[in-house]
Amino acid sequence: MYAILKREITAFFVSPIGYLVIGLFLVVTGLFLWVFEGPFNIADTGFADLAPFFLLAPWVFVFLIPAVTMRSFSDEQKAGTLELLLTKPITTLQLTLGKYLGALTLIVIALIPTLIYVVAIYQLGNPVGNLDVGVTIGSYIGLLLLSASFTAIGVYASTLSDNQIVAFIIAVFLCFLLYFGFEGFANYNLLGSADAFIQNLGMQAHYDSISRGVIDTRDIIYFISIIIVFIFLTVQRLQKMR
C-alpha cells in the first residue's frame, strides 16, 4: 500500500498536476475572498470572519477533487496497467487505500496554505485577535472530512470508466448530489416532517453542523460511513476486474 501511495504522490508532483491543483485552489479562493466583489468577499462583509471561505471551498472541491481523482483507476485501465497492478502481491483494499490516500494527501497539501487566511483574519480583527478559534477549527475539520468523502467518491468513479472525462463527470455528479441534492430537495418541503430526514442524508447539513464549532459524533460517523461505503464499492469493483 505504501508503495502505491508513494507512487501516487510522486506522480502528482513529477507532472504539473499537483502544482496546478494547489495553485488553482489558492487562486480561485483568493480571488473570490479578497478581489472579486460579491457575497464571498471578506472586505465586503465587514466582518473579520472566515465563513465565506468555508462556504466557497466545498463548491470548488466539487469540481477540483474529481479532477484529481479521475485518473486514479481510469488511467490505469486505459494504459492496460490495472491488470498488472491486480496481479501484484497486494490486496484490492491496499491498492484502493494507496490510491485514495495519495489523492487525499494532495488535497490536504492544498489546504495547508489557506492557514494564511486565518492569520490575515486574525490581524484584521477589531481588536486584533477577535477570531472565533473554535468555529475556525471546527470548520477545518468539517472541510477535511468533506474532502475525504469527495475523494472516496472520486476514486470509485474512476473505476467505472477508462475515460478520464467520463470518470470526472460521474464524480462531479455524485459529489454534487450528495452535497447539495438532498438539501435542495428538502427545501421544497414536499414531504412534511420527512424533509428533515432527507436533509440529513446529504453532506451539507453535517458539514454546516461541524462548521458551527460543534463536533457531534453523529456528523463524524456520517462522513466516515460515506468514506467506508465508497471505498468498499471501489474494492468490489476492482475484485470484479480480476
pLDDT tens-place string over residues 130-168: 677 888 899 999 999 999 999 999 999 999 998 999 999
CA distances, 103 to each of 38, 152, 168 (Å): 31, 9, 14
| Sheet strands (E) in 109-214 | none
Q: Give the chain's radius of gyration (CA, Å).
A: 19
d(CA 242, CA 240): 6
Contacts by 215-219, CB closer than 8 A, 24 or more apart: 215/138, 215/141, 219/142, 219/145
Report how far residue 11's alpha carbon sits from residue 26's, in angstroms, rounded to the nearest whole number.
21
Q: At what angle do helices 203-211 and 51-69 cross, to 10 degrees?
A: 140
Q: How far is residue 84's CA from residue 76's CA, in Å, rounded to a whole number? A: 9
pLDDT at 192: 67
pLDDT exceeds cutoff 90 at 231: yes
In 3D space, the residue among 170, 166, 158, 136 whose CA is nearest the CA of residue 48 turns out to be 136
Read off the pLDDT of residues 46-61 as tens digits, 9 standing for 90 and up.
Answer: 676 788 899 999 999 9
pTM: 0.91
Q: Flag whether pLDDT at 7 surpasses 90.
A: no
Please give the pLDDT value at position 4: 80
C-alpha grid cell for residue 222?
456520517
Q: At 161, phi and psi to the nearest 5? A: -155, 150
6-10, 81-85, 94-98, 208-212: range with lowest mean pLDDT: 81-85
Distance CA 39, CA 52 (A): 8
CA distance 131 to 123: 9
Provide the phi-psi class of 48: left if phi over 0, else alpha when psi is between -120 and 50, else beta.
beta
Q: Under DSSP, is residue 215 helix (H, G, I), strand (E, B) or coil?
A: coil
* Element counts in the chain: helices (H) and strands (E): 14, 0
Question: What pLDDT sits at residue 49?
Answer: 78
Q: Is the dihedral of CA 1, 168, 60, 145 positive or negative?
A: negative
CA distances from 59 to 53, 84, 91, 136 (A): 10, 36, 34, 18
